[in-house]
Structure 1
Amino acid sequence: MTGNNWGYGDENGPDDWHKDYPIAQGSRQSPIDIVPSQAVYEASLSSLNISYNCCTSINISNNGYSVGVEFADFDDKTVIRDGPLEVPYRLKQFHFHWGGKNSHGSEHTVNGKSYVSELHLVHWNASKYETIQEAAEAPDGLAVLGIFIEIGDEHPGLHKLTDALYMVKFKETKADFKGFNPKCLLPNNLSYWTYPGSLTTPPLLESVTWIVLKEPIRVSEKQMEKFRMLLFTGEEEDRLCMVNNFRPPQPLKGRKVRASFK
C-alpha cells in the first residue's frame, strides 16, 4: 500500500494506514469516542459564530473516498469563528462519511454509539496561512465542524445535493454545483465538544481543531441510499459501492475533550 493506494477495504483499510503514514499512531489522531461524562465543561468556551451568508459553492466531486462540495478560496465572508477558535477560519469544503445499508458509519462516536453518517465542514486558518495545503501542515491550520446524521424525516436542505450525486457516481468525477449554502445543514442547537485532532484520512496530519456538534441532523433512508449508490471505483473498473468509508475511533492519549455545555 503506497502513495494514494489507501482505502477502506480489507487490504488497504484504516488498520494498515500506519505502514505508509506512521503518524497514524501519533498523539492527536481522529476520530475519537466522545464520553460526555469525561468531557470538561468550560464556561470560557463561547458560542460558535457560523457565517455562511455569502456562500459560493463551486463544484461537487467524488475523489474515490467520499463525495464533497468545494467553495471559492477567496470568500472571506464564509467563516466559522469564536468557540475554541482564536481567529476566523474560512470554509473550503464539506464531505460525508457513511455506513452500508442497515449499518452505521459516523467517524466520531458518543459513548460508543455511532450514527448513520457524519458531515465534515472543513475550514482553514486563512489569516495565518497562504493556502489550505500550508494550513494542513500546521497545528492550528484547520478547524473541522463535525455534524452527526441520523435517520428520520427527509431533509429538505439536502435535496439539491442528493439530486446531484448521480453526476459524480464514479471515482474522480466532478460537476458544477453552484449556489449551495450549507447553512441549511446546521442543526438548531450549536452546542459542541472540541478537542485537538487530525485529518481522518491520509495523510492524517495533526492540524485539526475538532468541533463536534452535540445535536444531530436527520435525513431519510431514501436520501442515504443515494449516497450508497456512489462508487469507490472509476467507470472502467469493477464496481465497488462507496460504503463504510469511515475510520474507527482512535486512542485519546491524554487529550482533554472540552464541552461548551453542562
Structure 2
Amino acid sequence: MSAQSCWGYGDDNGPLNWHKKFPFAQGNRQSPINIVGAEAVYNPDLGPVTISYSGCSSMSICNNGHSVVVDFEDCNDKTAVSGGPLDHPYQLKQFHFHWGRKQQQGSEHTVDSKNYPGELHLVHWNSTKYQSFGEAAAEEDGLAVVAVFLETGDRHAGLHRLTDALYMVKFKETQAQFKKFDPQCLLPDCRDYWTYAGSLTTPPLHESVTWIVFREPISVSEKQMDKFRMLLFSDENQSEKIRMVDNYRPPQPLCGRMVSASFQS
C-alpha cells in the first residue's frame, strides 16, 4: 500500500480515500492552495502578526495516525496570535507537521508550484467568540492557522528537542508528555505573510480557517527530517509497518478567492 493511499489521496476507489466522504471536500474554500506570488494582492492595511506563546505549561506529543501533534492542554489567552487579518486574538490549541518521503515534496501549500520538504501548522481558535475548540472549528471565523515551510539546510536548534522525542510516539495512537517547549522558536525571523480564507486539510475539512502563511521558511537538517519519516501510520500490533510519509493534502482549486500579501513583491 502506498503512503498516499494510506493518507487518503491515492486510488479514488480505495477504502481509505476519506476526503471523498466529507461534503466540505467539494466546497469553494478548501485548503491547501498553490500561492501564486504575482497574483497575490498587496494589502497595506495588513499589519504585522503578533505571536505570544508564554501561557502554556502542560502539553503532550502524540501520533494521531495522520501526523505528529503537540497538544496544549491548559493554555490561556496569553498564548495567542493576533493582528494581521485577525479581528482579535486566537488561542493556541496545537501544532503539527506535514512532510514527504523526499526533499522535493511534503508541504501542503506550494508557492509558484514549488513544494517544500515539510510544513508546520500552528492551530489557534477563536476563544473570544466560542466556548470550545470543537465549536470554533465548525464556524466560518473559528480558526486561525499559522503555516511555516520547512526547507532542508542547517540543523534547527529549536526543533532538535522535538525530533529527539519522536521515538516515543513512533506508532499510531501513542502519546507522551512533552513539557516546557515554546513553539515561538519555530517561527522565521521575517514575518512577511500571505493570508486567505480556507479550510482544515484533514477530516472533517471544515471551511473555518483564516490562513497566515509565512513567506520565509525555516531551515532544518536532513537528519531532522528523517526522524519524522521514521514515524508510522501503523499501530504497534499491526504486522505491516507503514512509514508515515507524504502525509500532505494536494493543493485545492482557488475558486475565485483572493490571496492577500502583507508585503510588496
What residue in structure 2 maps to residue 47 of structure 1?
48
Q: In structure 2, how many angstroms separate the alpha carbons of the residues matched to 1:214 and 1:31?
A: 15
Change (3 A) 1:6 1:232: closer
For the aligned residues, what is the CA RMSD? 1.8
Change (3 A) 1:194 1:240: same
Name which of 233, 253, 256 aligns with 1:254.
256
Q: In structure 2, how many angstroms separate the alpha carbons of the residues matched to 1:41 and 1:28?
A: 20
Q: In structure 1, how many angstroms separate the alpha carbons of the residues matched to 2:235 and 2:168?
A: 13
Residues 194 and 214 in structure 2, CA contact (< 8 A), matched pair in contact too: yes
Q: TM-score, normalised by structure 1?
A: 0.94
What residue in structure 1 maps to residue 129 of structure 2?
128
What residue in structure 2 maps to residue 178 of structure 1?
179
Change (3 A) 1:112 1:80: same
Confirm whether residue 7 of structure 1 aligns to residue 21 of structure 2: no
Residues 57 and 75 in structure 2, CA contact (< 8 A), matched pair in contact too: no
Opposite residue 111 of structure 2, the aligned amino acid is: V
> Structure 2: 5+ residue runs without aligned partners?
none
Q: Deviations over 1:68-99 (max 9, x none)?
A: 10113442111000100001000000000000
Change (3 A) 1:48 1:92: same
SS of residue in 2 equivalent to 1:171:
coil
What residue in structure 1 maps to residue 95 of structure 2?
94
Q: 1:16: how far off? A: 3.8
Q: In structure 2, how many angstroms separate the alpha carbons of the residues matched to 1:247 and 1:18?
A: 10
Residue identity over aligned pairs, in percent, reads: 61
Change (3 A) 1:57 1:39: farther
> Structure 1: 5+ residue runs without aligned partners?
none
What residue in structure 2 maps to residue 152 of structure 1?
153
Q: Deviations over 1:207-230 (max 9, x none)?
A: 000000000001000000000000
Q: In structure 2, how many angstroms separate the alpha carbons of the residues matched to 1:151 and 1:57?
A: 30
Residues 8 and 17 in structure 2, CA contact (< 8 A), matched pair in contact too: no
What residue in structure 2 maps to residue 210 of structure 1?
211
What residue in structure 2 maps to residue 240 of structure 1?
242
What residue in structure 2 maps to residue 169 of structure 1?
170
Q: 1:25: how far off? A: 1.1
SS of residue in 2 equivalent to 1:133:
helix
For structure 1, which segment, 47-56 or 156-165, has the greater mean C-alpha deviation from structure 2 after superposition? Answer: 47-56
Q: Deviations over 1:171-196 (max 9, x none)?
A: 00000001000010000011100000
Change (3 A) 1:74 1:52: closer
Q: 1:18: how far off? A: 4.3
Superposition pairs of residues 64-143 of structure 1, within 5 angstroms: 64-143=65-144
Change (3 A) 1:16 1:187: same
Opposite residue 246 of structure 2, the aligned amino acid is: N
Residues 57 and 69 in structure 1, CA contact (< 8 A), matched pair in contact too: no
SS of residue in 2 equivalent to 1:123:
strand
Q: TM-score, normalised by structure 2?
A: 0.93
Q: In structure 1, how many angstroms separate the alpha carbons of the residues matched to 2:257 and 2:220?
A: 32
Change (3 A) 1:207 1:9: closer
Q: In structure 1, how many angstroms separate the alpha carbons of the residues matched to 2:199 and 2:158?
A: 28
SS of residue in 2 equivalent to 1:68:
strand
Residue-pair matches, total: 258
